[in-house]
Chains A and B, each alone.
Chain A
Amino acid sequence: DTGVSQDPRHKITKRGQNVTFRCDPISEHNRLYWYRQTLGQGPEFLTYFQNEAQLEKSRLLSDRFSAERPKGSFSTLEIQRTEQGDSAMYLCASSLAGRGNDYEQYFGPGTRLTVT
């Protein structure tokens, strides 16, 4: 499968625990995005990377959230001290700058987080 992949697909955690999600973009895609989607809502922008540089981060994102893309390939999203309000689907998307439709984002299947 050459699409965007995310791991794990489901995560159940207790309030206060830390969780980390991984996203593997389409090979050679240099832009990578993280979104959060709650039931009945559109994806909410969290942050995006161009290669390894984190270029923008939502003002709505608390300090408990951090994302990395150390080698410009896969990315991780960590949530510290999880709260019940963090329960959502976390989506990753990637795009390729500089070729064809370089704005088009391809989404992964998401990681569904449930905080109990």
Chain B
Amino acid sequence: GENVEQHPSTLSVQEGDSAVIKCTYSDSASNYFPWYKQELGKRPQLIIDIRSNVGEKKDQRIAVTLNKTAKHFSLHITETQPEDSAVYFCAAMTGGFKTIFGAGTRLFVKA
């Protein structure tokens, strides 16, 4: 069945360093890959997304890369700040709009 694996489950970085979160997906029909940030007690919020016909996308300090052949996609956050601390989820949407989420990465940015 469809599955999205995400790692690491916890990531601790020093303020100003970069953070990388990696995901793999199983359904080759997946065509849309969003990343969500969820702060404690709040709803998930989209921070960046990428479609299957694009290999890389950047938005200020955040970038996402996609390797369709390997079924891998990654989130890169540069110049991390304490307010980046949260849980980050990757997800993959199948052609039928069903969205499968990874288990999440808890990011700690130490000041």
A positions within 8 Å CB-CB of B: 31, 33, 35, 40-45, 48, 50, 55-56, 58-59, 91, 101, 103-110
Interface of B (DSSP majority class): strand
In angstroms, how far is the closest chain A Cβ from the Cβ of B91?
Answer: 7
In angstroms, how far is the closest chain B Cβ from the Cβ of A36?
Answer: 11
For chain B, the bracket of interface size reads 20 to 34
Q: CB distance B43 to A108 under 8 Å?
A: yes
Q: Which residue of A lies closest to B89 (CB)?
A: A42
In angstroms, how far is the closest chain A Cβ from the Cβ of B56?
Answer: 17
The answer to whether A55 and B97 touch (CB under 8 A), given A42-B103, A101-B49, is yes
By a CB distance below 8 angstroms, the chain A residues around B51 are: 103
Q: CB distance B49 to A103 under 8 Å?
A: yes
The answer to whether A105 and B46 touch (CB under 8 A), given A42-B89, A43-B89, A55-B96, is yes
The answer to whether A91 and B43 touch (CB under 8 A), given A42-B104, A43-B89, A101-B49, is yes
